[in-house]
Amino acid sequence: MNSSLIVVEILVALLGLGVLLADLWMPATHRRRLGWIAAGGLAVIFFVGMKDAAEVAYAFGAPGAKTGMYVQDSLGVFFKQFFLLAGILVLIMSVEYSGRFATGVSEYFSLTLFALLGMLFAAGTNDFTLMFAALELITITFVVLVSFQRDRASSIEAGVKYLILGATASAFMVFGIALVFGSAGTTNFNEIAAAQKTLASNPIFLVGLVFVLAGLSFKIAAVPFQVWAPDVYQGSPAPTTAFLAVGSKAAGIVLLLRVLYAAVPTITAQWHVLFVVIAALTILYGSLCAIPQRSVKRLMGYSSIANAGFLLLGVAALSKAGAAAMIYYIAGYLFTVLAAFTVLSVVLAQTESDDISTFNGLGQRSPMLAAVLTLSMASLAGVPPLAGFVGKFLLLKSVVPMAATHPIYLGLLAAAVVGVVISIYYYFGIIRAMYWGGKAGASEPLQTSWPIKGALLVCVVGMLWLGILPDTLVQISTPAVEVLKPELPVKVAVAP
């Protein structure tokens, strides 16, 4: 057993426990400081603890086996850094927001750390059982995080919805894993990959795989398992929503990549029509439903569905380029969405409602916050020079060659174009509210603390960096997907 690979996970777990323990001795008035300590601790781990994965290494395998439940490779390292960065920014945001929690501020920080722990394990998953454990850790902590504003009915409602639907999804998944184990005799991704030629014709295995994919679709909010997202996004505290949108979705994405391209690439290739249809429907559902929304958090819920659809373009592309584009897109999404939610949590800190009209006049009140939110909406809409544009460009670039092979990909491209055009409408609606939305409720400038300013700066720099200088991340994402082995469908040969 090679437990030195999971030193980051151990440190995060210790940090979470430390925050819980410190709560016992910390006077109630100072508990917000624990958030700074947690964020600082994560920053130390982020800068010191992360090592490049020079070669693929496994942990928790059978003695002598060349594989294990846990894998450390460049894909995993990329996502671990991603989750740590998201965790730091979310903790900064939640310190700012924590004034609105009646009690249990330090539990909030510590639960955020435990959700992060689940995500870190998800990044290195190489086994269906570890996948289930990681996902359950994420889901259960999020149930509490979602319903953390116990004095608000909508928060409790969101928690109940997330609990019930999340438990259903988990049930699907565990049933699927049972079927997979029953038919394959193993839950290890490498061993399944070695046996997939025979498993591909085993209906029990395929049914099990469908159930597993259903569970993962729930995590990333893809059609037809997307119904929870708007309600939960709307009811949760803003930092939780942000972490759901970024962290939980990215965990689903890394697991999806590993299952589809590391465990069962041949079956994935056979099912390409399914992924095309799901991607197209997810884009269209998210975009169309976002049109009439007035609640900004609910809007972001639908936007997150639409973005799940855009991410699935990379799955439908059945190529390393597609997987690399997904990584690029989700990295841009991290900065973009966290920028949006940081502004949201500052603006919504004073008011109960999150109607779009809350943002009226923000361009005059706080030009800086309005500019950041404008950039982030433009990035979500895929406008240069921001991260979202390069992400969408790379995703489309990975799908276009497939259009020469199967006409259904033309439909997918059409859905993507329609989704982008519609997204202009709802994202720019927020820009409109900020600059000429009518009478503002309040006119005094909003106070922003230095850590919030720092977090916003990181997000804006990240958006512009990924939008203007794509080279660095392209250079990182290309080798990161080398561990994945996508295949093309047998009948289809890509034109030169």
Partner 1 sequence: MSLTSTLLMTPFLTALLVLLVPGNYRFVVRCLALLGSLVTAILGVVLFLKFDPTGAPYQFEGLSTWVSSSVFRLNYHVGVDGIAAAMLLVTSLVGFAAVAVSWDIDKQTKLFLILLLVMIGGALGAFASLDLFFFYFFNELALVPTFIMIGVWGVGEDRTYAAYKITMYLTAGAMVALIGLIALYTLSGANTLDIVELQKHLAKTPLSSSAQAFIFPCLLFGFGTLVGLFPFHSWAPQGYGCAPSATAMMHAGILKKAGLFALLRVALPMMPEGVARWMPVLAILCVGNLLYCGFVAMRQRDLNLLIGNSSLAHMGFAFLGIASVTVVGLTGAVLVMVSHALLAALSFALSAWIRHQTGTLEIAKMGGLLKRMPFIGSVLTLCFLAGCGVPGFANFAGELAVMFGAWKGLPWIVVVAAWGGLVIGGVYMLRALRTILHGNAGVMLPSLIDAPTAWRKFPFVLLAGGLLLFGIFPNALTRRILPAVTRVAELARPAAVPAATAAPVTAAAVVTPATPASN
- Tell whether residue 492 is a contact of partner 1 (CB under 8 A): no
Nearer to partner 1, 70 or 389 (CB): 389
- Tell whether residue 490 is a contact of partner 1 (CB under 8 A): no
CB 34 within 8 A of CB 109: yes
240-269 burial, b at 16+ Cβ within 10 Å, e below that, comes to bbbbbbbbbbbbbbbbbbbbbbbbbbbbbb
11-48 burial, b at 16+ Cβ within 10 Å, e below that, comes to bbbebbebbbebbeebeeeebbebbebbbebbbebbee
- For 340, 410, 439, the CA distances from 291, given in Å and listed in that order, are 18, 24, 22
Contact pick of 273, 400, 442, 492 for partner 1 (by CB under 8 A): 400
Instruction: Give me the helices (H) in 98-225, please.
Output: 105-123, 128-146, 153-184, 189-199, 203-220
Contact pick of 200, 274, 403, 408 for partner 1 (by CB under 8 A): 403
Compute how many residues bind partner 1; rule: CB under 8 A. 41
Amino acid found at 388: G
Contact pick of 160, 210, 227, 404 for partner 1 (by CB under 8 A): 404
* Tokens (6 digits) for 187: 């839950």
- Tell whether residue 391 is a contact of partner 1 (CB under 8 A): no
- Tell whether residue 79 is a contact of partner 1 (CB under 8 A): no
- Tell whether residue 421 is a contact of partner 1 (CB under 8 A): yes
Nearer to partner 1, 216 or 420 (CB): 420
Binding residues for partner 1 restricted to 346-385, rule: CB under 8 A: 363-364, 367, 374, 378, 381, 383-385
Contact pick of 104, 401, 411, 451 for partner 1 (by CB under 8 A): 401
Beta bridge partners of 59: 70
- Tell whether residue 439 is a contact of partner 1 (CB under 8 A): no
Nearer to partner 1, 243 or 409 (CB): 409
Nearer to partner 1, 154 or 478 (CB): 478
Contact pick of 164, 185, 475, 492 for partner 1 (by CB under 8 A): 475
Task: Please give the Cα distance from 347 to 451 (Å, whole number).
Answer: 16
Binding residues for partner 1 restricted to 292-331, rule: CB under 8 A: 320-321, 324
Contact pick of 160, 424, 464, 488 for partner 1 (by CB under 8 A): 424
Strands 57-59, 70-72: parallel, antiparallel or unpaired by DSSP?
A: antiparallel
As measured in angstroms, the least distance from the Cβ of 140 to partner 1 is 38
- 428, with CB counted inside 10 A (0-12, 13-18, 19+), is middle
- Tell whether residue 464 is a contact of partner 1 (CB under 8 A): no
**Chain centroid offset of residue 31 CA:** 28
- 281, with CB counted inside 10 A (0-12, 13-18, 19+), is middle
- Tell whether residue 436 is a contact of partner 1 (CB under 8 A): yes
As measured in angstroms, the least distance from the Cβ of 150 to partner 1 is 40
Contact pick of 192, 269, 372, 431 for partner 1 (by CB under 8 A): 431
Round to the nearest angstrom and report the end-to-end CA distance of the chain: 45
Contact pick of 36, 175, 181, 393 for partner 1 (by CB under 8 A): 393
**Chain centroid offset of residue 483 CA:** 21
Contacting residues toward partner 1, per CB under 8 A: 320-321, 324, 363-364, 367, 374, 378, 381, 383-385, 389, 393-394, 396-397, 400-401, 403-404, 413, 416-417, 420-421, 424-425, 428, 431-432, 435-436, 469-471, 474-475, 478, 495-496
